[in-house]
Amino acid sequence: MSTTYSSNNILNAVAAAAKTLGDRKEEVNRLNVFPVPDGDTGTNMSLTIESVVGNVANLPIGASGADIRKAITTGALMGARGNSGVITSQILRGLCEGSQGFDTLSTESLAGAFTKAQEVAFQAVRKPVEGTILTVLRDAAAAAKNAADEGLDTEAALDAIVAEAYASVQRTPDLLPVLKEHGVVDAGGFGLAILFDAFVAALLGRSGTMVDEMSFLRNAHPKVEIEQVNDWEGSNFRYCNEFLVDSDTLDKDEALKFLGTMGDCELCVGEVPKFKVHVHSDHPDQVLAYFLERGQVSEVFIHNMELQSAERTEKLAAEEEAEKKSLGFVAVAAGDGNADILKSLGVNVVVSGGQTMNPSTKDLLEAAQSVNAEAVIILPNNSNIVMAANSAADLAEFPCAVVPTKSVPQAFSALFAVDQDASLETNVEEMTEAAQAVKSGEVTWAIKDSKDAEGNPIHEGDVIGIADGSIDAVDSTVEGAVLTLLEKMDADDADTCTILAGEDYTDEQLEALVARIEEAYEDLEIDAQRGGQPLYPIIFSVE
């Protein structure tokens, strides 16, 4: 049974893809062995897609397919930055043009859209080079055509396109020697694969993307000693020039011939009356003069590539020379507040997860690999994640260990026990001892009928309190459950109580809860913070 995707579904997927690329643009940037001249590939592609999302957001409700396609192509053209951004804009234009004539998103419409996208994008570049974003596009288009020829359904066709895009990215070093020299894949191609992947995941309602299974880029890092070249070939010119032209008379072919006499990496894309121009040249004044004679020029960006290259090389060198810590930390947590606190206590990477979302062994291993440290300790902060953390530590090709914390508050105490001058083994021992001295409580709502630790009935919707894995409180209010747990956790004998408020627990509710605890336990020092975790309005600890 085929699924029909509405225009709203597709636009929401475009917005999700834009956000994903924005979140991962630095990962793409680091792959760029061509340090300038057009800025960073991930940033340029992200800005281009953000412009699309902004333009589409201005459409009225119920806009026609033609209006939507126009908004996408115009937004991409107007917002395109650098070679990678301009090429991305042409890919989007081709996808829109190729989808005309189809009423729904289908395997056939995908094949038509990608065929046109390949045609338009290759026409925009006068000297296409293998091993770049264009290669990835061509291979993805071939996958779309094969899917149509084989009669695959739409979901299978989308998956095939994404899989082939990533496979093509992996092949780019074999096609472009400079990539193999620096041990990376093509940045633009990877950015395009991320866009396809995130779009498909959002459209199909998946929580994860295929890139989670593609670990070949996590630790890719180009060398610092990089010659100044651009996205496609060596450039001998100083200035990167890009701007918009409004003209009813501009001849694109003649304009490209002129740009070829001015420099290299020349692009002139778009249709009457709006064009995007890009060229590397030592004479931006002459370039602008030519187009001013033929129309209105706007949004002019002129970058000195030599200065940009020097700045980026210095930045990369500084990163390369950054002192490697003796000990680094990875922790699992849900909620921005919890993540911020963990980072303030020295955690290098916080993996999103917890009671409702357990990260995989691969997620934890990749997080540990990204830490710039000689040894890494993983804090799982949940009993269901300890096994995956142990597996990640076993698979690591560097010293890696686990402190089996079962809650975020336990991680706080464990991190206070860290001694950077001590050995990995000593820190694990001391941190584990500190964590085990912490009693943790969690409050949430029952999702079905059950029984508490003493066999008393629990009804769906009841507030339940969990103390170190045991359901020891059932109440009608969060505050009541917390107070019951505190009594059973011997709060009278404790010195401090740390409280982490969930994302839906208001400041007013938190203040009222703290007041009730202070009234019941006068000598208990309370540290209340906004944890931001979902589903659990209160997580707390006593020690």
What are the pLDDT digits (tens) for 469-500? 789 999 999 999 999 999 999 999 999 999 99
Q: Is the pLDDT of residue 285 over 60?
A: yes
Q: Give the integer Cα–Cα distance in Å for 3 and 205.
A: 12
If asked whether residues 66 and 163 sit together in one domain, one would say: yes
Same domain, 130 and 150: yes
Q: Is the dihedral of CA 113, 114, 115, 120 positive or negative?
A: positive
Show the tokens assigned to 422: 């001590």
The DSSP code sequence of 65-101 is: HHHHHHHHHHHHHHH--HHHHHHHHHHHHHHHHHHTT
145, pLDDT greater than 90: yes
Is residue 315 one of the residues assigned to a domain? no
Pick 220 or 146 by higher pLDDT. 146
Report how many domains make up the chain.
4
1 domain residue, yes or no: no
| 538-542 and 496-501 beta bridge pairing | antiparallel
> Tell me, what CATH number does 341's domain have?
3.40.50.510
Instruction: Give the pLDDT confidence score for residue 317 in this predicted structure.
Output: 61
Query: Does residue 484 sit in the same domain as residue 407?
Result: no
Question: Is residue 317 in some structural domain?
Answer: no
Q: Does 119 lie in the same domain as 86?
A: yes
318 lies in a domain? no
User: Is 164 a residue whose pLDDT tops 90?
Assistant: yes
Residues 254 and 166 grouped into a single domain:
no
Pair (300, 338) in one structural domain: no
Q: What is the pLDDT of residues 197-227, one digit of tens each?
A: 999 999 998 876 665 444 444 344 333 333 3
Does residue 232 lie in a domain region? no
79 lies in the same domain as 170: yes
| Contact yes or no for 461/506 (Cβ under 8 A) | no
- Domain membership of residue 50 (yes or no) is yes
Residue 394 lies in domain: 323-436
* Residues 6 or more apart in contact with residue 317 via CB below 8 angstroms: 224
**Residues 57 and 169 placed together within one structural domain of the fold:** yes
| Domain annotation covers residue 65 | yes
Is the domain of 303 the same as that of 349? Answer: no
Q: Are residues 31 and 74 in the same domain?
A: yes
Residue 16: CATH number of its domain: 1.25.40.340
Tens digit of pLDDT for each residue in 412-437? 999 999 999 999 999 999 999 999 99
What separation in angstroms does the CA of 297 have from each of 84, 240, 242, 278, 287? Answer: 21, 16, 10, 13, 11
430 and 457 housed in the same domain: no
Residue where a domain terminates, one of 436, 462, 478: 436
Q: How far apart are CA 246 and CA 57, in angstroms?
A: 23
264 and 336 both lie in a single domain: no
Q: Is residue 139 part of a domain?
A: yes
